Structure 1
Amino acid sequence: MDIRIFALGFFFCVLLVQVSGEDGRTCYNCGYIQRNGGAPEPLPDHEIEYCPDLTNGQSPIKKCADPNDCCIVRREFKNVSNSETGKYQTDLVVVHGCQESTTEHYNVSCTEASEDINGNCQMFEMDNTVNQDETLFKAEICLCNKDRCNNKVPDDFSSTPSAPTTTPYNGPKTKCYDCGYMQINNDPPAHLPETDPAAFCGDFANPSDLEKECLGASDCCSVIKVFHAQYNDQTKVNDTVTVVRHGCFNDLGQSEHYGLSCADASGNINEDCKVFADDKLPVNHETDVFREEVCMCKQELCNNQVPTTTTSNPTTTAGAVAITAGHIISLLASAVLSLTFL
């Protein structure tokens, strides 16, 4: 009986040694949230402790439960509705941790992880609605298989040694025209500035080579028309520079400036247009912009024309600032007050 008890105890000791020899990897376990390009701050509800892009010896660590697990750094980009401004903003969430925390949402495996956090990075593009005010549209995940190897976030995701792979998108798609033009005063339309690679087209677009697939159930087709007042040193007056863009609504970035959404877009590009001028323009708009028109539609290739939202083109104005309707009203009010005191 004593020999059997001794043998049983010896067996459990050997088993304990084997199990302890299969401890999981030690990884940094911390992160932050960056709201609308601001300073990094702790994650809400203290999900994990705070740490910046570069961790240090004092940053929180965690022993991964699975001995086959590896360390990760995950970056998630979300479109979030700001309840204070009523507009949408992009928030970035960065997490250092064990790979086990990503398996539920992303198809990543530690079998291809290298010793360097830069050695295996993957990119995911999606349209995942977290709730009615938040949409996850992009994620970047880097893996490594050494203890505490997830101590930093790669500075430039595109410059990692192994090229990032993009998971194919199989969700809803909308096909829209992607092109545009620039016009100075009443001159003939010309190609867009070099900063915009879109192909040239006029107010009406139809060639098949100008089409683009817009990804996500929340996207739709759009046409935007932006009016700039640019001072001409030769003529000593302002030129009206009009930039017109056909494209995917999310690509053109209007949701960030005006809090617009494709939810109310119709099937006709002429039926959902918004005009922003003077004090209706966002606070951070380009200083020379005095009017912007945004039109949206949901049908395939429905942005094939530029709706007429004004009775005539904005007039060319003298001086360094364009004269708009708001300025005219102010001048008339001043005139009435002057007559009152005569």
Structure 2
Amino acid sequence: MERAVRIYEHGPAEILKIEPIDPVPPGPGEALIRHTAIGLNFVEVYYRRGSFPVPALPAILGNEAAGVVEALGPGVTSLAVGDRVVYADGPMGAYATVRLYPADRLVRIPGDITEAQAAASFLRGVTARMLLKEAVRLAPGDTVLFHAAAGGTGLIFSQWARSLGIRVIGTVSGAAKAAAALKAGAFTVIDYVAEDFVDRVRAITHGEGVTAVFDAVGRDTFLRSLDVLKPRGTLVAFGKASGHPPQIDPFILSTKALSLTWPIRPVFTADRALLEENADDLFDAIRRGVLDVGPQRSYALDDIVTAHRDLENRQIIGSAVIRP
């Protein structure tokens, strides 16, 4: 029996319900995918809580997965039954053993990349690439601050940045996360529970500040992140784990001619050429050993409530997947 995880309302992890589903044949432009690994990402907590809207309730959550093509709908010529594929950022519904997906948004997984690697890294890896190579202009020798550097995106970002000669100061909570961020390539780390990150960044950079701050935390760090930027620096906001950032008067950016941007992945992978460019770059970095994407942990589909609790309690260091 095929199964999926649904929510009928917004709330805590306990509202996630595993239920049987009855798959239908793929329609025009669709592929039927049997999942072998499903990405587990903090953004799904936002959807479950209601911080981000779902199209309708009940809803099947999940933004990222890898698997094997089992059937193709009319008009699909870009794929074949048996192809190994990965996706992210299309319609929700990855928390399932099988699902339909738009064929033109599926990416073939190269033979030297495993499905678990693809599912553990595709959403985070494309995000890290967007932040590092697209959202702001960085050069070898630049120093940047990355909040929550021991998260899945942060660990990939730090590894990739190190290979490009960019120094990452990471904020973390606790010794284990500090060790993970340093191993991934962070130049140094700040335990924001025990230290004031503004004071520490100023000390580390000898008062100069950083070229960019990458902030997915939101409310708790947003305004103070502006304080550590050097003149003409950029705050790159891309999440709100602690809540909505405060509204600001743009005039506060003027004293140092700062920039503020909020990039989102779908814009940077909007057409097929951009999607493939991002995927090829990510897979190449994994292949060359620039990136170790894990996964570090895996959960059974039956353990989805535990997985979401661990996400919210910051118990997961690095990437994790669900094994359907």
TM-score by length of 1: 0.27
Give the helix-richer structure, 1 or 2: 2
TM-score by length of 2: 0.28
